[in-house]
Chains A and B, each alone.
Chain A
Amino acid sequence: MLLGDVGTSYTKILDVEKEEYRVIKTLDLLKSNVRFDIACGHNAKLKADRVVNELVALEKGSRKLLGEGNFLVVDVGSRDIKYVKMKNNKYEEMDWNALCGATLGFSIELLENHFSVKTSEIEKASESLGVTCGVLGMAKIFDKISEGCEINNVLASFVKGIAENVYRFINGPEFFYLSGGLCNNSLFINSFRCKVEPLGRFVLLEGLR
């Protein structure tokens, strides 16, 4: 059985029989003839007959990884932010920020490519750049650079701005679990003002099993 989390930029794949996980670019997936038995994600319906809602997959996958109980898990994707909060094994709260305030992961990758920098190798910033969404945040980056600010500092401030944005969106918790590709970005994780535990980028796939 082949499971897919077909995101905007990347597709996460699980071959259940082989217990094999892999990540490919969604653009490459769309050009291929790969089809999934079950999938979630923005482009899932193009590649699977059985499509599961992403937030439901996040909730199920988190419960498989964390067990029953209380938790807040936040998935920061290329295009959107979504979270679900469970209390006493029951659904408590959710939200999904898909348009205004979004395109955050995508913006980081775009900037890394543009400046040939790996943000995960940059030290965290003390100041955050006020980031409403990825697109508006990028305009601010170029303004700062034109003012003579050092590129790495500006990028770190941008990432901190994104972290602040996510933190406000999830109502300022003391602790949360992080899901998604940004789990591998230490700058992003260290830019939060609260404790963050990364769960990796395959949480939704666990929810599809």
Chain B
Amino acid sequence: MKIGIVGVPPQEILDKYNGNDFIDLDTLFDFTDNSKAEIYLPKIYCATIKSIIANALTIKLDLIIFDNGYSKCDNGRFVSEILKRELTVPIITTQNNATRRHPQPICESDLELRKKFDLIVDSVVKDVDKSKLKRVEPDYGFWGVPPNDFSLLNLFPKETHVFGWARCMEAKVPQDLELEMMVREDLPTVFYAQAFCSKNSLAKYLAKKHNGLYVEVDDVLDNSVKSKIEAYLLLNK
């Protein structure tokens, strides 16, 4: 079966479908056309949520497992309802209440930041070998969710640790707000949120509190945001 997943569904549900072909619908694939989502969503909307809809409309799926509660986001809850009503493919909605934090070696590894995120996203649906990962002492932090446009991550050096919801993903506790809000006090950190996402409130608050840089990106990275992040990294060298 080809199964689309959204968010971080509970492990026991994923285990039930072990061996099937999983596709993360939150991903902006080369073929993802977010404008397709505009038949159900306003034009101005969270790009990640638009990608979920666009992918669900494009990829021929046998099942969607949609983690749509507070372990994902409010937008996800509404959108799962739209998909349930509009698609013929069966949709299982879940709320991941897992509380046992798994270790987060990917977030603190010496891999390129983009590679870290690739592995974090992969680790939701498959076992990732973490035994050879080496921890790196960080110069910077990146807080947030996996961005819609992964090219944003190329701006950061390897010596960047991952915080925020992405860390919760690796820890397999997507509803753990305490872990999501954890940052390292002395570490220059970029607080990222997707435009029109309610996580902007956390990103802005934490950036102000920890003297970090708050960055909001809609859809794909533009030169202005790129320059802003570059400047922050250079000035904090």
| B residues with CB within 8 A of A | 211, 213, 222-225, 227-228, 230-232, 234-236
B154 CB → nearest A CB, Å:
16
A164: Cβ under 8 A from any B Cβ: no
B96 CB → nearest A CB, Å:
34
**Which of chain A's residues have a CB closer than 8 A to the CB of B232?**
94
Contact check, A96 vs B228: say whether CB atoms are below 8 A apart.
Answer: yes
Q: Which of A54-94 contact B (CB under 8 A)?
A: 54-56, 59, 80, 82, 84, 91-94
Complex: chain B residue closest to A42, CB-CB? B223
Contact check, A94 vs B231: say whether CB atoms are below 8 A apart.
Answer: yes
Q: How many A-B residue pairs have CB under 8 A?
A: 39
Contact check, A94 vs B235: say whether CB atoms are below 8 A apart.
Answer: yes
- Provide the bound-state CA to CA distance between A95 and B191, in Å: 13
Contact check, A98 vs B235: say whether CB atoms are below 8 A apart.
Answer: no
* B interface: dominant SS: helix
Q: Which of B213, B227, B234 has the most CB of A within 10 A?
A: B227
A51 CB → nearest B CB, Å:
10
Beyond A54-B227, A91-B236, 16 additional contacts (C-beta under 8 Å) are A53-B231, A55-B231, A55-B235, A56-B235, A59-B235, A91-B235, A93-B211, A94-B213, A94-B231, A94-B235, A95-B228, A96-B227, A98-B222, A98-B224, A98-B225, A98-B228
A134 CB → nearest B CB, Å:
15
Chain A contributes a number of interface residues (CB within 8 A of B) equal to: 17
- Provide the bound-state CA to CA distance between A53 and B230, in Å: 7
| A residues with CB within 8 A of B | 42, 53-56, 59, 80, 82, 84, 91-96, 98-99
In the complex with contacts A84-B235, A91-B236, A93-B211, A55-B228 CB distance below 8 A: yes
Complex: chain B residue closest to A45, CB-CB? B223
- Provide the bound-state CA to CA distance between A188 and B228, in Å: 25
- Provide the bound-state CA to CA distance between A50 and B122, in Å: 38
- Provide the bound-state CA to CA distance between A82 and B235, in Å: 14
**Which of chain B's residues have a CB closer than 8 A to the CB of A96?**
224, 227-228, 231
Q: Which of A59, A92, A93, A94 has the most CB of B within 10 A?
A: A94
**Which of chain B's residues have a CB closer than 8 A to the CB of A59?**
235
- B231 touches which of A42, A54, A92, A99 (Cβ 8 Å): A54
Query: What are 11 A-B pairs with beta-carbon distances under 8 A?
Result: A42-B223, A55-B228, A55-B231, A56-B231, A56-B235, A59-B235, A91-B235, A93-B211, A94-B231, A94-B232, A94-B235
- Provide the bound-state CA to CA distance between A98 and B217, in Å: 12
